[in-house]
Structure 1
């Protein structure tokens, strides 16, 4: 087939997986892409800034080659960027806000993939220093990271896993997670990005995160809901889905603890420096130096806490088997 150069670099196993799981057929790849491209004229309200074959192919893969669905995703991808222009202004790793988020480990990206070839992204929620990083900048850093990772065709087919560790995440931090910004994140990730998310795993979530989750559930598609697992402090249930060989020690895995700078160094390259003004030590020193009172010194950012989960014996509990939703307390959020 003349179009198989679009699959260049893929292993035979992955090509077979794409055929079985995604209905990808090398012989008609070109027609599939063209049919999506032909739909663009139906949405003159949206600026489709990229329409090349390789780009459209990502959307087909993310929607199992249902052309209408793939086109809807493509339209939403550009519409989201159109509606949230300020988020995508200077959408580069060296943008100060994005750079700060990356340097603080948002997101963490493990070098090795899981047993299904999926890339594992980590979020250590407690490391969100709200005096340094806005939620929007963290979201921008995550979207930019996905944008870089999705260039890899293997990942277009195998997808991603997201693990969020909520250990030591305070009620005060949680109160900043308003429904509107959570909705922005869900729209950006679930409805507007051409990636397959194989699972979103919550670890060590406190009751108020469970409550928040109940609050945002209506914005989640059924398919997304089925892929969200609330493990609490039961790491055995996590290990049933992601092998410990693929996980750092924070998640009871056999790999060393995750180094927060790993992904930032990859993305920023020579621009990344441990000694720059973004590191916590110099930031703290600066903050304390100008603090006029003990009170302010109390409020200055704490160095990052690393979480350590507790491994407990237990079986996999899926969130749907939890207690009925209306018994969950809700956060009083504005």
Structure 2
């Protein structure tokens, strides 16, 4: 194990070898091969090229150097092409702060059974008078920047659960093709994270219709990892064990406190009136995130109204399994 793998468990190191083709004997050479390609794209400002940074891109593309460099280039190109999104890319930016405090995203402390970090979005929490969709996307990207510093997550990856309960047609109408395309480019094409699954629960019919808009922009691999569960949490539990989920998703964990992740980034004593001075530099951050301090919460931020009692399942179509979005063809 090289110093670049310091802190990894033996199980995760073996997983990286088997699933990602990671070889500690050639790690530095693999990184240097990617770094040598930078001269081929003088149009892009590569603002960070250290070993640790390039390694996360290699892991995201299973050590295929050409695909790794393409992702690295797209990462910085996306930021160059959307300068307004990243000019104040820090936790004390008012738009990002509001989105975080509204629970975009929620980050569960307990990983799934495969070690993947679970992110949750309660769509109905989007107050369009308070946060723009762009601010929500920025808050998600900033959160991922913090999380991806953790080497275990670079290897194990992430799971995203979106609860569409009480998400109105009026709210959905604000998800324009341009906004959806921006989100797909930022998350699917330009960020070094491994997403093992994207799960929709309690989605209304117009979210199905939205798929026809985003389908042309999705890679086949991405489409196969998106699942529509409707109100059938049993199918969700076939993919993510209830022991890993809060009660909102029929899990055995307590209801999720939407303030946990916001407090992790904004500090332990925040409230709605606090002005923050903490900053986060996505290109130079060192160290990994810490856990939230549950005792400092002044309130539980609003959650989906779809919560069920721990350990219980919704009754509809209990014998059905989740359908990937691709099955809507």
Which of residues 313, 323, 329 in structure 2 aligns to 1:318? Answer: 323
CA RMSD of aligned residues (A): 1.6
Aligned-partner Cα distance in 1 for 2:253–2:180: 31
Aligned-partner Cα distance in 1 for 2:204–2:251: 22
Answer yes or no: is 1:98 the counterpart of 2:129.
Answer: no
Match of 1:111, SS state, is coil
Match of 2:234, SS state, is helix
Which consecutive unaligned segments of at least 5 residues does structure 2 have? 277-300, 308-312
Which consecutive unaligned segments of at least 5 residues does structure 1 have? 279-302, 326-334
Which of residues 168, 174, 187 in structure 1 aligns to 2:185? Answer: 187
After TM superposition, the score normalised by the length of structure 2 is: 0.88
Which of residues 263, 267, 283 in structure 2 aligns to 1:269? Answer: 267
Answer yes or no: is 1:255 the counterpart of 2:253.
Answer: yes
Aligned-partner Cα distance in 1 for 2:49–2:326: 43
Q: Give the deviation of 1:90 after TM superposition.
A: 1.3
Q: Give the deviation of 1:320 after TM superposition.
A: 5.1
Q: Which has the larger radius of gyration?
A: 1
Which of residues 56, 59, 63 in structure 2 aligns to 1:58? Answer: 56
Which of residues 302, 305, 320 in structure 2 aligns to 1:307? Answer: 305
Match of 1:168, SS state, is coil
1:171–1:40 CA distance, 2 compared to 1 (3 A): same
Aligned to 1:285: none
Aligned to 1:19: 17
More helix by share: 1
Superposed CA offset, 1:123-149 (max 9, x none): 000000000000000000000000000
Aligned to 2:216: 218
Aligned to 1:244: 242
Aligned-partner Cα distance in 2 for 1:210–1:320: 8
After TM superposition, the score normalised by the length of structure 1 is: 0.86
Match of 1:45, SS state, is coil
Which of residues 204, 207, 210 in structure 1 aligns to 2:205? Answer: 207
Aligned-partner Cα distance in 2 for 1:274–1:185: 27
Aligned to 2:172: 174
